Structure formats: C-alpha cells, structure tokens
Amino acid sequence: MAVSLDEYGQQRVVFDSTGAIDDAEHFAYRVTGSWEDSETFRDFYQLDRDFISTSLSWFGDNGGHININYEYSKEKRSMDRGFITALGADGKRSIVEVDRSVNYGVDFSFNVVNSNLIEIDTITPIINRNWDIETKLFYNAEQADDVRSEVIAVLADGSLARRVQGNDDRQLNTFFARLQTRGEFNFTFPIQLVAGAEYHQQKEKWINFAGNNQIGGTATNPYSYTLINDSATATRDHRDVTNKSYGIFSQLDITPIEDVTVTLGLREEFYSAEFEKVVLNSGVTTSADTPKDSKFTKSAGVVWKIIPELSLYSSYADTFSAQNIYTGDQTTAVLPPQEGRQYEAGAKWSTLDDRLLLTAAYFDIKQNNNVETVNGEPELSGGIDTNGLEFSLAANPIKGWNIRAAVGLLQAEIVSETSTNGNRPTNVPKKTASLWTSYEFQGSDTLLKGFGISTGLSHVANRYGDTNNSFELGDYTLLDAGIWYYLPPIGGSSIRLDLGVKNITDEKYYTASGGTYRISVGAPRTFFSGIRVDF
C-alpha cells in the first residue's frame, strides 16, 4: 500500500494484493485499487476518483490458463483547458502571460465518468503442448456527463467570448474479441506461427448541448466576468456513432540460421461506420455512413544476434487506422482512414555482465490523412513525414547505483496541398533528452543502509502549437530530485518513506497544445512525499 501527497493538495492511496487462494497450486488472485481526492496548482480544479481491479487466474498442469479480470472506476474531475493565445499588436499570435493558476473555465465545470470493464483470457494447449488456442474477450461500458466552458474567441479589445457546453448521458460501449492459434514446427528450419481473427465494435451515443456566446472578462483577467450557466436552456441534439472493424492476421517467426530470426506478418482489415444526429427541438436528422471497405497490410523484420552481447534489427510495417468518423465538441467529420508505413533499424548492445545496455535506432515514418483535434474539433491536417534517431543508455556501474539516459533527434514536416505544406507538425520537438541517476546505500555495516537519493533532468526542444506554425510553445528543461529511506524491517514487512521536489528551478513551461485556446500548462515547483508499506 502506498500514500502520495504534495503541497498543492494531492491525496492518493494505492493498494495491491496478490497471492494464491488457500495455498492452492492452480489458483491465484490479484486485487488492486486506488482512492484519490486531489487538487492542483490550477484554480477551480478538483479530482475525486475511486478504482478497483480484481482478477482470478487458473493455471493448469498442461499449460492451460484462464484469467478473468473486472475493473470498476468512478471519477469526477473539473474540466480544465489550460491557457489561451491571442494576437499581439504586431499581428503575431502568442500565449497570454498570466499566473499559472489562472483558469479560463468556471467553478461549476465537471466531468463524471463511471466505467465497468470485464476481460477474459484463455490458453488451451493442443497437440502435445506445441500448439495452443488463445482467446480474448473484452467489454467496457462507460457512462458520462460533463459541463464546461470554452473560449470561442479573443476579441480585438482583449475581451473573451466564451460559452457553456457539454454532454448528457454519454454512453460508450466497446467490445473486442480475438481467437488465435500459436505453435511451432520445423520446415527445413524452425518456424513459429500465430494466426487468428479479431472483431472490434464501438458504439457511442450522447446528447450534446451548447449555450449562447457570452462576452466578458479579458485574456489577462478572465475572473472579471462571471459566466452564467445556461446549460438548462441550451440547444440540444442527440448523436449516435458506431464503428466496426474485423480482420484476419498471421505472423511467422522463422529461424533460417542460428542467431537470425525473420518475422513476416499479414493482415486484412474490414471496416465500416455509421453516424446519426437528431436536433431535439426540431427533429431535423442528418446521417453519414461509410460503406464497408477493407485494407491489406503487411510487416517484416529481422533480428541478427551477431554475438551474445550485440544484436542488430530492422523492420517494416504498414500502418492503418480504420476509424474515420470523428466527433468533436460541436461537429462530426467523416474523414478517410489514416494510412502509412514505417521503417526502423537499430542495434542493442549489452556488456559488462549486463550492467551496461546501449541502444540506437533510426526510424522513418510516413502517414497520410492525419487527423488532429483542434480546439475540440477534428481537422484533417494532411500527411506527416517523420524520421529520426534515438539513443538510450541503462547502466548499473556498482550495486545500488543506476543511470538512465536517452536522446531523441526528430525531423518532421506536414505534407499537404494547403498553406501548411512543409510546416512542422503540432507538438513535435526537434530534440528531446533525459538523464536520471539514483543510488541506494548497500551493506549491513553502514548506518545509511536503506537510504537512497536520486536526481534527473529532462529537456524538450521548442514546438509549434498549431499546423500553421503561428505560435510557439517554447523549450524547457526540468530538474527533479528525491530521497527515500527504508525503515528496518518489522517481521515480514518493510516501510519506505519518500520526499522529493519536481521542477526544482520552477520553470514555466507548456506541455502540449490542443489548439489556440487549449494550451496545457506545466506544473510549478512541487514538493511531494509518500509512504509505502509492503507486507
């Protein structure tokens, strides 16, 4: 069990219990859960959440396995869209400079979500355990309601245009099923095969409403005007969306020579979608259906273990996303499916008795029909071409000392027949970097045994906040640190105490952009503490 607290009001409890049932050899259970009642550095923000997950597993003597998992969660959180941008006197757009706590929303905003999830996985051995049949059934039912305010525009005099909007009785039901067989055989050389079929269906229906535009408050002082909650008299419409897809697939892992593995994959995906909207006060109905269609995709890869410590790999994969009806806050768009391809090649080197792991990779990705959500509405941004390099290091020089480091270099551009052609995609930096190190004192002959210290930094380069590259989010570097101490064991239990601080330099930064009026704000310097008990 663990308890987490911070100076801005985070209060979270997490527990995890796992074990055999009455010392049975074939049955095991796991129960995890959390409770949270938290505030943050943002005004009007509150989060209440209850979560529990239970699973029961059976393990057969012949390799058979059944796992049944059920999850329930209930969450109520304030809706927070972050900061906004505005045009300056020079005609350039920039993020409005206000205190990090400023919220352009309202104190009556909320999003309540209740969900129930059940998942069943089975493995049934056949043919002397060399083959098995595997199944997965997944069902998740969500019910949600939300009310919030949105910034619609910043007027020339700096005044805000906002409105109250939201959704009533949103019901989202997701079903997924998979049946596959897995096994191995020899045909000149060893081959492993996985083949099967999948089915996915998502049905969503809800009542959407939007109030009247209200003018008041300013970009630098939104609290100077109190928004009226006119959701009770807002225009309402009922929306219903269904997305379906199913496919057959196969994958071969072939070992033509020792230390070389070749992977080949094929998939045929069939998909369709339906949408209907009914304006409740007039009965006017609009609908949009996408006829059933299919897409064939393929993948291939090779791994070569040159020596036990060094492996080289390369891969190719077609990418495809069947969903093509996108719903926003107020609009619904029928857009072509996202398609693309990806190449990757790299190396992994483990040395010094696995105390040092180095990886390097190059990738090249092309995507067509990329869809972004901008200020709550879906937009087709065109294609995106991306290529880059990634390097990582994981080291354990001496017992108790851990080092983790990573660097990413990224080139990306939009491919479009519009004015955004050649621009950098939203939220994509040219480089990222991170370094983290920790040390825990070892040995029973030292008073510091069980005491640990850690520190690390992460850097993200400048990013653009929209596809027009009309404003920047800037770069940032965060420095964090923490200490912990394991109290002397009591019986079979252990207790760990934690203290730490995030963003030591109190840097002001922005984590992401969802449009000109949805800029996510990074947290200020934050002191936190925690206690963990294992028994």
pLDDT tens for each residue of 381-435: 889 999 999 999 999 999 999 999 999 999 999 998 888 999 999 999 999 999 9
Least confident interval from 230-244, 397-411, 461-475: 230-244
* Average pLDDT, integer, range 153-182: 95
Q: In the predicted model, is pLDDT for residue 110 greater than 80?
A: yes
**Whether the predicted pLDDT of 288 surpasses 70:** yes
Mean pLDDT of 177-195: 94
- Given this model, what pLDDT does residue 329 score? 65
Measured between alpha carbons, how far is 202 from 178 in angstroms, rounded to an integer?
15
> Please, what is the average pLDDT of the chain?
93
Within 10 angstroms of residue 213's Cβ, the number of other Cβ atoms is 12
- Note the CATH number of domain 1-233: 2.40.170.20
Does the structure show a pLDDT above 90 at 21?
A: no
What average pLDDT does range 335-346 have in this prediction? 92
Task: Work out the average pLDDT over 170-184.
Answer: 97
CA distance 485 to 497: 5
Q: Of 332 and 385, which is predicted with more confidence?
A: 385
Residue 40: other Cβ atoms inside 10 A: 18
Rounded-to-integer distance, Cα 161 and Cα 212, Å: 10
Confidence of residue 328 (pLDDT cuts 50, 70, 90): low
Does the pLDDT at position 441 exceed 70? yes
Q: Is 474 left (phi over 0), alpha (psi -120 to 50) or beta?
A: left
pLDDT above 90: residue 378: no
Query: What is the pLDDT averaged over residues 434-449?
Result: 88
Global confidence as pTM: 0.90
Residues 6+ apart with CB under 8 A from 98: 83, 219, 220
> What is the bridge-based pairing of β-strands 189-210 and 235-257?
antiparallel
- CB proximity list for 134: less than 8 A, separation 6 or greater: 121, 122, 123, 124, 178, 179, 180, 181, 182, 196
For the segment 477-529, what is each residue's pLDDT rounded down to a tens digit? 999 999 999 998 888 889 999 999 999 999 999 999 999 999 999 999 999 99
Please classify residue 166 by burial: count the beta carbons closer than 10 Å to its beta carbon, then call 0-12 exposed, 13-18 middle and 19+ buried: buried
Question: Comparing 32-46, 265-279, 330-344, which segment has the lowest mean pLDDT?
Answer: 330-344
* pLDDT average, residue stretch 365-394: 89
Six token digits for residue 498: 């934690």
Q: Is 173 left (phi over 0), alpha (psi -120 to 50) or beta?
A: beta
